Chain A
Amino acid sequence: MLRQNWWKLLGVLIFGYVLVAGLLTPLKPGITDATPYTAVAGSSVDINVQGYNTHFEDGQSQVAFLKNRQQQVIQANSFRSTGNQSSVFSFDLPDMVDKDKARLTLVVNNSLDGSIILPDAITVTKGTGSISNSATWMPFDVGSLHVLEDFRFPYRNTLNETIRNTFFHVAIWFAMFILFIVGLIYSIKYLLKRNLRHDHIAAAFTEVGIIFGIVGLATGSIWAKYTWGTWWTDDVKLNMSAVAMLIYFAYSILRLSVKDIDSKARLSSAYNIFSFAVLIPLIFVLPRMTDSLHPGNGGNPALGGEDLENSLRVVFYPAVIGLTLIGVWMSTLVYRIGILKDQWINDL
């Protein structure tokens, strides 16, 4: 039995690994907020830093820098930590001669956290008064900093812990597409060979694809509420997935409304092929040409080089494989139910 069904076990094991690794791996330390957001050049400023997963108190040899675009830094004079998650760093800002405004990146480094970076943490404007200190920009010496070696997921502002949803939301869309494409292939096969089994397979894969699509929409909606502040927004990918779902719902309605088995198979196969042809430009072409809130837009999303860190890939690719295997398993069950129903109708 295991010799035939090993892939089911594999799917479940892989998905179990995704659940464990995806939910239990901690995030890298990050800075949620640093106030104030603006300061005047030539003055002293106390930056109040709120950390996440940080060790401001426990970490040894802690240093903090403000870095400009020319890779020059000023180091904090002193810091005062109130717990691991919050600390105040005091900087003397040097005078600015060439520019009116500069956005500085905050870098905090200690032995437990490695480097924690908050890009564009503070905007420094040119002062009008006299210069109260003699601070100057120094070259950034990366070599002396601590590096965090643990396996961690990256910390991103606004995403925070929801970055784990990548393994479920994105992976389930991938799996859904694989299921829909298998369904399409069997629809074409049915029209060529007129074997009713092929139609049952196509229907089963498409139905499970619909379930995956609903879960994909739901996880995406929850994620959108957290990061973009709304359940639904007018984004090209959301629109297209809504259209795709409507089309496949219509496919199910069509299957329900035709009673004759042969014409049901014929009509629904034709509709499946036709609607997939209309969908292709929508799902694969348009989103790559239009602005989107989703990452990786204007290129190949999710598989592109910059959008996914390696630590995420280690869990994301198995998630796609695991969910696809589970989807195929579900489809075979639906297929068997469909065949049994047909036999039952014939026996009546």
Chain B
Amino acid sequence: MQQIASILRQHLRQDIRDFTSVGSIGLFIVGATFISLKCFVTLHGVGWIALFWILFLFSILNLVQNAFKSSRTASRETQYVYFSALSVVIGTWLYHFLYLLGSALLLLLAMTVFFGSPISDLGLFLLNILIGSLGLCTVLTMTALIGSTVTQSNLLVSLLSIPLALPFLLLSVKISVVASGLIKDTAITTDLIQLSGITLLAIAIGILLIPTLWKS
């Protein structure tokens, strides 16, 4: 537990010291939203939701690629000596989760400012973002871990993540459409349970696989 907190603290301290990655993600989100505004001019309903999730996916793909590179936290050898694999990965996973939530909220803010918001049930939408981010950050943490030992991993991590992120995105988009009031769905709890279910499954399998991925 202490180790996890320590890793999380290292990540956050690194971001405070070196503002580049936070700033670049923020700029990416605002810039991409503005470009979309100039291209689409107006955007309602399903288009808004689709754009939201696409921008979200691509902004977080940029984020995770360097997570396990040695420059970020203590060097890999140090981590290997002082921390257990599980705590390093879970610490990074929590850090990703905070980061994903931050980018989602920033994106939501930016798109609401530029386009207006079609979301009528904000509580459901935020819950959706919460669960969806949990699932996506599990997938991204795993693929970043896989990619961390490969040279030239940037493209590879994206390639590995996109198909795995799709199931989460499909469900999240569906829930978002319901949250925007475009369709009425009384079975929305089923969708939420499905989304939580695959998230939990991904987390469980991820935890099982961490030790094998870490040793190298």
Contacts and interface: CB of A to CB of B under 8 A. Distances in A.
Contacts of A9: none
A275 B146 contact: no
A253 B213 contact: no
A248 to B, nearest CB: 8
Interface string A266-283: 110111011101111110
Contacts of B189: none
A285 B143 CA distance: 24
Interface stretch (A49-57, A195-203, A239-247): A239-247
B156 interface: yes
Q: Which of the listed residues A247, A249, A257 has the most CB atoms from chain B within 10 Å of its own CB?
A: A257
A274 B143 CA distance: 10
Contacts of A278: 139, 164, 167, 198, 201-202
B209 interface: yes
B2 to A, nearest CB: 27
Size bin of chain A's contact surface: 20 to 34
Contact of A271 (B146, B152, B204): B146
A286 interface: yes
Interface residues of B, number: 29
B201 A281 contact: yes
B167 A282 contact: yes
B156 A243 contact: no
A263 interface: yes
Q: Which of the listed residues A239, A243, A269, A273 has the most CB atoms from chain B within 10 Å of its own CB?
A: A243
B209 A289 contact: no
B202 A247 contact: no
Contacts of B159: 250, 253-254
B71 to A, nearest CB: 21
Interface of B: 139, 142-143, 146, 149-150, 152, 156, 159-160, 162-164, 166-167, 170, 190, 194, 197-198, 201-202, 204-206, 209, 212-213, 216
Interface of A: 191, 239, 243, 246-247, 249-250, 253-254, 257-258, 263, 266-267, 269-271, 273-275, 277-282, 285-286, 289
Given A250-B159, A274-B205, A274-B206, 17 more contacts: A191-B212, A249-B163, A250-B162, A253-B156, A254-B146, A254-B159, A263-B149, A270-B213, A271-B143, A274-B142, A274-B164, A277-B205, A278-B139, A278-B167, A278-B201, A280-B201, A285-B194
14 contacts: A191-B212, A246-B166, A250-B159, A254-B146, A267-B150, A269-B212, A270-B142, A270-B209, A271-B160, A274-B164, A274-B206, A275-B164, A282-B167, A289-B190
